[in-house]
Amino acid sequence: MFQRTYVLRVALLIVFSMVLGCSKSVRYGDPKGIETVSIEFGSTDLHKVAEEMTRSMLVSQLVVEGNRPLITVQDVKNLTSEYIDTRAITDSIRTELARSGVVRFVVDEEAMAQQVSELDRQQDGEYYDQETIAEKGKMLGAAYRLEGSIRSIVKQSSDVKDVYYKVNLQVWEIRTGILEWSDETDIRKIRD
């Protein structure tokens, strides 16, 4: 009996080892489908934040007035311990707003170096038609700046993990310092 059990265990291990040889296939998924692979901030959260914030901004007084305000985008501060690329959030919001045509965006701090480099290249180069080159000193200053933050509260017990994210965005009028628009959205994910 004693020996038989060991023999069976070893046989089971051999079977398990063979099972491990199986591989999985690759398939395409819906980019906007609900992703629940892990509890970390993921594509579904990104879409949710971008869509809700864009919808909110599109009905705000800032946009409804119809004068296509000039906005510059600043960083959304990541105040969590998770590696969340918040530029993906602001990029999505900017794309949606730009697509709607109700606001315009000017070069932000991140892209400024490339903008200046391109201006310099056109000015310094002898290869361009002087009538078509972009003049220096014609860039428009933004009237508003978009910024925000993402925070999280993480609670964990031996078998449950609860993560709460709060994303807050604001649009400030640069000249006056007035807060023109602000909204927030929250996400709660539980893994058990």
Partner 1 sequence: MCDVTYLMLLRLIGIFVSACVLGGCQSLSRYEVELNQVSDAVLSGQLDDALGLHERRHVTANQLLYFLEAGELYWLKGDYDQALKLWRAADQLVQGWESLARLNTGLITQDVGSVLINDKVKSYQGYDFEKVMLTTRIALTHLMMGDVASARVAIKSTHEREAIIEGFRERQALLVSQEDAQKSYRIEDLNGYPVETSDAPELSGLRNSYQNAFSHYLAGFIYEQLNEPSLSAPGYRKAIELRSNHPVLRAGLMGLEERIKRPDDDGYTDLLVVYEEGLSPSKISIEINGLLVHNGDITYVPFSVPAYGARSELPQPSVIVAGDVIEFSPDIVDIDLMSRRSLKDEMPGIITRGVLRSGLKVSMQSAADELDDSGVVGDLVALAAIVTESADDRSWRLLPARIGLGRVLMHRGAHHIEFRSGSSSRSMDVVVDGKYMLLFMRRVGAQWYVKQVSFD
Give the residue, chosen from 30, 135, 159, 192, that forms a contact with partner 1 under the rule CB under 8 A: 159
166 counts as binding partner 1 under rule CB under 8 A: no
Which of 108, 51, 101, 107 is closest to 74 using CA atoms? 108
The 3-state DSSP class for residue 36 equals: coil
Give the residue, chosen from 47, 48, 87, 145, that forms a contact with partner 1 under the rule CB under 8 A: 87
Using CA atoms, how far residue 10 sits from 1, 2, 19, 117, 171, in Å, is 14, 13, 14, 68, 66
Query: By CB under 8 A, how many residues form the interface with partner 1?
Result: 34
72 counts as binding partner 1 under rule CB under 8 A: no
User: What gap in Å lies between CA 180 and CA 178, rounded to an integer?
Assistant: 6
Q: Which residues contact 184 (CB under 8 A, 6 or more apart)?
A: 166, 167, 168, 169
Cβ 77 to partner 1 shortest distance, Å: 7
Give the residue, chosen from 27, 30, 38, 141, that forms a contact with partner 1 under the rule CB under 8 A: 38
97 counts as binding partner 1 under rule CB under 8 A: no
4 counts as binding partner 1 under rule CB under 8 A: yes
> How would you classify residue 84: left for phi > 0, otherwise alpha for psi between -120 and 50, otherwise beta?
beta
Q: Determine the interface stretch with partner 1 among 42-50, 60-68, 69-77, 124-132 (rule: CB under 8 A).
A: 69-77
Cβ 6 to partner 1 shortest distance, Å: 5
| Residue in this structure with the two tokens 């999985």, named with its chain if needed | 24
Q: What is the CA radius of gyration of the chain?
A: 26
Cβ 147 to partner 1 shortest distance, Å: 12
List contacts with partner 1 (CB under 8 A).
1-7, 9-10, 13-14, 16-17, 19-20, 23-24, 38, 40, 75-87, 110, 159
